[in-house]
């Protein structure tokens, strides 16, 4: 078999056989197929797509390219969750403790920030001392004892995805439904949970910009999960506006803590309750409404916050910053971005908000960049608000004054302010199961 023939086949819109897909994934992981050939294949897939069967075979080959984690050492129903990536998306830090407080088991492997989107592992590392890499036995042990642990993906979890993702990131081949579905589902299948909740983001801050594409992506991922015997549900959630007010690592941990204390922003609280309810439902704890009630009680009783504290302590972190968020190190400088006109905020280009936070040091410009955990943005005004000229739209936090100019420019471009009243979109568009 020759890779060049497979590229030609896909370029002509033909269907690859199971053997051809297996050959391509194996060969790429073993470095027998070079990046340039795989890049050409990825671009052909972007243009010609894949059948559901091709996508399922590719996902299986990618999942089996490394360890298939066996979570049987953890008692109870294990439930996982994956977001397709967003701006201000700190939901895992809220939901995992809620689910654990209600008796669910969350053994979660999360990722780092990617492009304009943030990542849970970077946020967790904003907590001093927090370990995000643990030996497997310790990881299982923590989940058995306290019900949750969140760590980074181990080196050998779906290595095919690791290589393909890095290549897609630099070859303009991220935004393809078969490639996103196989990337996410290969990791989820390899990570071993019994059930999976997918948070598929839609809008200007998501990889899928339209609702139709997001629903299509969700249905493909749900089909792959169910085919592999995992109970899988997807919620399509709004990413046409940043979630909550905080963008940036320690700022987002602080907002997650406030949410667990019952004082979080309304949109974030509401999305987290729905996601947590669906995770609990997947573990068999009742219908979604009953589970949402349980999730609310986990917040009001303080049990969910205690679970976050337990996890931080179990993973070596300093829980003083969770018990008193004012103990987090603060950015030395801040800058207020003021509106240059009066009117209603009708739209926010959420990708630009994410890029602005990267400019401030909250994300990586290159693979080698070092994150400034205290950097980021607090959005003082969001869609629906009426602002006067000169009113503060957002406060920027950074370590270097020079960073403010570009971030301010991006944010001012991100806000659309007009005379017309704004339409508020729903937070959750659909549930796919």
Give the three-state DSSP class for 397: strand
Q: Does residue 407 bind ligand URA (CB under 6 A)?
A: no
Binding mask 198-227 for ligand URA (x = CB under 6 A): ---------x--------------------
Choose between 181 and 279: whose C-beta lies nearer to ligand URA. 181
Total residues contacting ligand URA by CB under 6 A comes to 6
Min dist CB 384 to ligand URA, Å, is: 28
Min dist CB 218 to ligand URA, Å, is: 13
Residue with tokens 């990791």: 187
Residue with tokens 């927090």: 130
Contact of 259 with 369, CB cutoff 8 Å: no
Query: Percent helix, strand and coil across the chain, each rounded to 5?
Result: 45, 15, 35
Tokens of 19: 């053997």
Min dist CB 176 to ligand URA, Å, is: 8
Choose between 207 and 397: whose C-beta lies nearer to ligand URA. 207
User: What value, to the nearest 5°, has the Cα angle with vertex 305 and ends 301 and 306?
Assistant: 90
Tell me which residue of 288, 239, 292, 283 sits closest to 431, measured CA to CA.
288
**Within 13 A of 37's CA, how many CA atoms are on the CB side?**
16
The residue annotated as part of the active site, out of 10, 78, 81, 82, is 82
Residue 183 annotated in active site: yes
Binder of ligand URA out of 16, 42, 45, 85 (CB under 6 A): 85
Binder of ligand URA out of 84, 110, 202, 219 (CB under 6 A): 84
Residue 281 annotated in active site: no
Choose between 85 and 152: whose C-beta lies nearer to ligand URA. 85
Tokens of 36: 């340039």
Tokens of 389: 């000229």
The residue annotated as part of the active site, out of 78, 112, 168, 381, is 168
Choose between 252 and 292: whose C-beta lies nearer to ligand URA. 252
Min dist CB 33 to ligand URA, Å, is: 19
Give the three-state DSSP class for 195: strand
The residue annotated as part of the active site, out of 80, 122, 161, 240, is 161
Q: Does residue 65 bind ligand URA (CB under 6 A)?
A: no
Q: Sheet holding 195-202: strands in order across?
A: 79-83, 195-202, 231-238, 428-432
Binding mask 249-288 for ligand URA (x = CB under 6 A): ----------------------------------------
Q: What CA–CA distance (Å, rounded) separates 12 from 288?
A: 45
Contact of 87 with 353, CB cutoff 8 Å: yes
Main-chain dihedrals φ then ψ at residue 120, nearest 5 degrees: -60, -40
Contact of 253 with 90, CB cutoff 8 Å: yes
Min dist CB 174 to ligand URA, Å, is: 6
Choose between 84 and 237: whose C-beta lies nearer to ligand URA. 84
Using Cβ positions, the residue closest to ligand URA within the complex turns out to be: 183
The residue annotated as part of the active site, out of 149, 183, 195, 214, is 183
Min dist CB 374 to ligand URA, Å, is: 26
Q: What CA–CA distance (Å, rounded) separates 8 from 141?
A: 49
Choose between 85 and 317: whose C-beta lies nearer to ligand URA. 85
Q: What CA–CA distance (Å, rounded) separates 306 from 299?
A: 10
Binding mask 151-190 for ligand URA (x = CB under 6 A): -----------------------------x--xx------
Residue 330 annotated in active site: no
Contact of 339 with 382, CB cutoff 8 Å: no
Residue 168 annotated in active site: yes
Q: What CA–CA distance (Å, rounded) separates 239 from 383?
A: 12
The residue annotated as part of the active site, out of 187, 201, 352, 381, is 187
Task: State CA 302 to chain mean position distance.
Answer: 25
Min dist CB 85 to ligand URA, Å, is: 5
Min dist CB 207 to ligand URA, Å, is: 6
Residue with tokens 């399509």: 236
Contact of 237 with 422, CB cutoff 8 Å: no
Active-site positions read: 82, 161, 168, 183, 187
Contact residues toward ligand URA (CB under 6 A) are 84-85, 180, 183-184, 207
């Amino acid at each position: 078999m020759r890779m060049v023939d497979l590229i030609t086949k896909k370029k002509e819109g033909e269907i690859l056989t199971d053997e051809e897909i297996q050959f391509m994934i194996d060969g790429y992981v073993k470095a027998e197929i070079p990046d340039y050939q795989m890049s050409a294949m990825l671009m052909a897939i972007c243009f010609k797509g894949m059948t559901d069967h091709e996508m399922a075979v590719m996902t299986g080959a990618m999942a089996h390219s490394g360890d298939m984690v066996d979570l049987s050492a953890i008692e109870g129903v294990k439930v996982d969750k994956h977001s397709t990536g967003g701006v201000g998306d700190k939901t895992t830090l809220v939901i995992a403790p809620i689910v654990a407080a209600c008796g669910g088991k969350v053994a979660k492997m999360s990722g780092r920030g990617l492009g304009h989107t943030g990542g849970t592992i970077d946020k967790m590392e904003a907590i001093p001392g927090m370990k995000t890499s643990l030996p497997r036995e310790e990881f299982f042990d923590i989940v058995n004892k306290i019900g949750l642990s969140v760590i980074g993906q181990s080196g050998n979890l779906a290595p095919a995805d690791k290589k393909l993702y890095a290549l897609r990131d630099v070859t303009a081949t991220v935004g393809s439904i078969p490639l996103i579905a196989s990337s996410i589902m290969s990791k989820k299948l390899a990570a071993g949970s019994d059930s999976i909740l997918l948070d598929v983001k839609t809008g200007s801050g998501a990889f899928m910009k339209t609702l139709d594409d997001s629903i299509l992506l969700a249905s493909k991922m749900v089909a792959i999960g169910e085919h592999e015997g995992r109970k899988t549900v997807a919620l399509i959630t709004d990413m046409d506006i940043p979630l909550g007010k905080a963008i940036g690592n320690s700022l987002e941990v602080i907002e997650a803590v406030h949410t667990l204390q019952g004082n979080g922003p309304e949109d974030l609280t509401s999305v987290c309750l729905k996601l947590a309810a669906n995770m609990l439902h997947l573990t068999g704890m009742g219908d979604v409404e009953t589970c949402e009630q349980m999730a609310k009680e986990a917040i009001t009783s303080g049990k969910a916050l205690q679970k976050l504290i337990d996890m931080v302590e179990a993973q070596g972190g300093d829980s003083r910053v969770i018990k008193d968020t004012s103990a987090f190190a603060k950015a030395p400088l801040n800058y207020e971005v003021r509106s240059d006109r009066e009117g209603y905020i009708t739209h926010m280009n959420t990708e630009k908000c994410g890029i602005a936070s990267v400019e401030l040091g909250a994300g990586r410009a290159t693979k080698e960049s070092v994150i400034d955990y205290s950097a980021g943005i607090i959005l003082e005004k969001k869609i629906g608000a009426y602002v006067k000229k000169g009113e503060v739209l957002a406060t920027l936090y950074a370590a270097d004054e020079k960073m403010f100019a570009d971030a301010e420019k991006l944010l001012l471009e991100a806000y659309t302010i007009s005379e017309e009243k704004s339409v508020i979109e729903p937070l959750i568009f659909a549930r796919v199961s």
